[in-house]
Amino acid sequence: MPKFTINGQEVEARDGQTIIQAAEEIGVDIPHYCYHPDLPIDGNCRMCLVDVERMPKLTPACATVVTEGMVVRTNNERVKEAVRGVLEFLLVNHPVDCPVCDQAGECRLQDYYMVYGLHTSEIPLGMKVRKRKVIDLGPMVVLDQERCVLCSRCVRFCDHVTGTGELQFFGRGDHVAIGTFEDRPLENAYSGNVVDICPVGALTSRDFRFKCRVWFLHGADSVCGGCSTGCSVRIDHRDGTIFRLLPRRNPEVNKSWLCDEGRMSFHALSTGSRIVQPKVKGPAGVPTAARWDEVIASINSRLKETAAAHGSGSIIGIGSASATNEALFLFKRYLSDRLGATRFEFRLDGEDRRVAEREDDLLRRTDKHPNSMGAMKLGLMDAELGGIEGAISAARAGRIKAGVIIYLKPLVARPGDDAAEARVAELVRSLEYSVVLAAHEADWQSAASVLLPIAAWSEEEGTYTNYEGRIQFAGRALAPDGGSRPAWQVFALLLGADGTEPGWTSPEQVFESMAESIPAYRNIARSQTRLPGVVIAV
């Protein structure tokens, strides 16, 4: 544990830590382009030069390991002059086309120019070395060679993280440019990450291209709903529309990366139409719109009648592995405490088996639900029943009369999805009385006795438990669409329908109740579920 001094402040660094890492931990910002915490050190941009006592020249902070007694200065005139010079060189051939550049507003060139540069450009636009613009690099990336500062982050990402090695430098001197061989598209499953790690506007997103200027966006911290890995993401939205998903750095789960499927998963939320109000199947079998309070009261009384008439075993609860822990907890509590139901299931397609199964070596897993482990921990599996197939046959045989079913379509599509949805539809058709909670409309929902609109992934605050049992907090980006409500709130209303329980008014309260009553979640505070999340025993 070497002790060193930075800007007069004595700090203890960890063994093997570089100056830039140690400085970041105590909040000293050292400008950099090529350094990235999850990529190998390259030291080519020369922006992170710092003054180290008894070293003859300025030294790059990203490539210098802290040693005992080192005295570092990051803000004296010598360093500032050097950084200003480096920045001026980086901007020599920069086209300054910020008005059309999607990076504007989150561009390191802009940021550092305002802090360190503020010089007048000596090179008029006509004298600059022009390179190629708007190069199509596949479905995720657009390349502009002029804006590049040649930091090689993207090259190192493709070489060391995905191991595909598509990107490389071409040319010499002023004419060096980033590119792929013969402009072949960047088609690995993680190509969107090069856009995030590009500190300037050289690599920009194909999907987000010209959609919105970044300063209009509001960010909400969330967890990707695309698979059971549960990568930390930020949902960037404006006026009720999601514009992009960006990875948040979580060293324990996804580092700084996010797969392309997960990145694009928010488009699934806006495909198809949403259910906007509760619907009840009338006497003629036609679903008609109804008010929430009436629907809640009628569901509660009808389910109680069923439980009284046919025994508590006649009610089944089908949870969803895409619902939050809070929703599933109240779902189970309502059915088991109020109605005495003992039959619960959430598996539509072997989620428990596939929850930790890897799809590739980096992040993706074959189970495309964010909360399969959470559903398992809450005990939503019934070994006797024989999965949803068993539930269908039991319903056909008349052993199960009523069911409460949560169905949320997976955000990342896989060929088995339609079959899984068909099984849910079949169960709904076989039941005498069915309450379906869903976000998006589907044809089979007309068979449901009651259809309740619930919030989609981006509209509900809660926690998800990933494949390794890591509970992670996901915030709410948008307000629930139309008349839909978060699923936890629907069950809180059902629990309060008798007027016997004070009820839960926020997801925090639900989490607290869950931490009290579920053994797996015991003694876990909600604040612990924030980055990087808390792991429970699997």
Partner 1 sequence: MKKTPKVVNVSERAERESSFAKELLGPLVGMSVTFARMMNNVSGKIDATIRYPEERRAYSQRYRGAHILTARDDGTPRCVACYMCATACPADCIYIEPAEHPDPLIEKYPARFDIDMLRCVFCGFCVDACPEEAIIMSRETEICAFTREETLWDIKRLMSRAELPEFGLGYRPNAELVDSRVAVELKEIPKHTMAGRITLKEDAHMIRHVTFEPDKD
From residue 242, how far is each of 164, 220, 237 by CA, in Å?
30, 10, 4
CB of 317 to partner 1, least distance (A): 46
**What's the N-to-C CA distance of the chain in angstroms?**
34
The one among 132, 184, 353, 358 contacting partner 1 by CB under 8 A = 132
CB of 12 to partner 1, least distance (A): 27
From residue 112, how far is each of 18, 32, 85, 106, 216 by CA, in Å?
21, 9, 12, 11, 21
CB of 390 to partner 1, least distance (A): 53
The one among 215, 284, 443, 502 contacting partner 1 by CB under 8 A = 215
Question: Does residue 470 contact residue 533 with C-beta atoms inside 8 Å?
Answer: yes
d(CA 109, CA 112): 5
Interaction residues for partner 1, span 304-363 (CB under 8 A): none
The one among 134, 289, 308, 422 contacting partner 1 by CB under 8 A = 134
Of the pair 95, 374, the CB lying nearest partner 1 is at: 95
Residue type, 495: L
Give yes or no for residue 125 binding partner 1 (CB under 8 A).
Answer: no
State the DSSP string of 260-294. HHHHTTTHHHHSSPBP-S-EEE-TTS-EEE--HHH
CB of 213 to partner 1, least distance (A): 5
Question: Does residue 158 contact residue 165 with C-beta atoms inside 8 Å?
Answer: yes
Q: Hey, which residues does 170 pair with through a beta bridge?
A: 177
Give yes or no for residue 209 binding partner 1 (CB under 8 A).
Answer: yes
Cβ neighbours for 215, distance < 8 A, ≥ 6 positions apart: 105
| Nearest alpha-carbon partner for 369 in 453, 457, 428, 439 | 457
| Nearest alpha-carbon partner for 85 in 49, 54, 137 | 49
The one among 27, 182, 210, 384 contacting partner 1 by CB under 8 A = 210
d(CA 426, CA 396): 10
Of the pair 56, 124, the CB lying nearest partner 1 is at: 124
CB of 170 to partner 1, least distance (A): 18
Of the pair 140, 490, the CB lying nearest partner 1 is at: 140
Give yes or no for residue 419 binding partner 1 (CB under 8 A).
Answer: no
- The beta-carbon contacts of 291-296 under 8 Å, at least 24 apart in sequence, are 292/483, 292/485, 292/493, 295/450, 295/452, 296/490, 296/493, 296/494, 296/497
Of the pair 35, 116, the CB lying nearest partner 1 is at: 116
CB of 128 to partner 1, least distance (A): 12
Give yes or no for residue 213 binding partner 1 (CB under 8 A).
Answer: yes
CB of 8 to partner 1, least distance (A): 16
| Nearest alpha-carbon partner for 201 in 298, 76, 80, 108 | 108
Of the pair 26, 100, the CB lying nearest partner 1 is at: 100
CB of 215 to partner 1, least distance (A): 7
CB of 134 to partner 1, least distance (A): 4
Among the listed ranges 49-57, 210-218, 331-339, 525-533, the one in contact with partner 1 (CB under 8 A) is: 210-218
Interaction residues for partner 1, span 84-123 (CB under 8 A): 97-100, 104, 114, 118
Of the pair 188, 204, the CB lying nearest partner 1 is at: 204
CB of 216 to partner 1, least distance (A): 8
Of the pair 130, 353, the CB lying nearest partner 1 is at: 130
d(CA 328, CA 321): 9
Sheet holding 135-137, edge to edge: 135-137, 141-143, 203-205
Among the listed ranges 212-220, 284-292, 345-353, 376-384, the one in contact with partner 1 (CB under 8 A) is: 212-220
| Nearest alpha-carbon partner for 280 in 301, 300, 303, 298 | 298
d(CA 163, CA 235): 28
Among the listed ranges 131-139, 245-253, 304-312, 496-504, the one in contact with partner 1 (CB under 8 A) is: 131-139
Which parts of this chain interact with partner 1 (CB under 8 A)?
97-100, 104, 114, 118, 132-134, 209-210, 213, 215-216
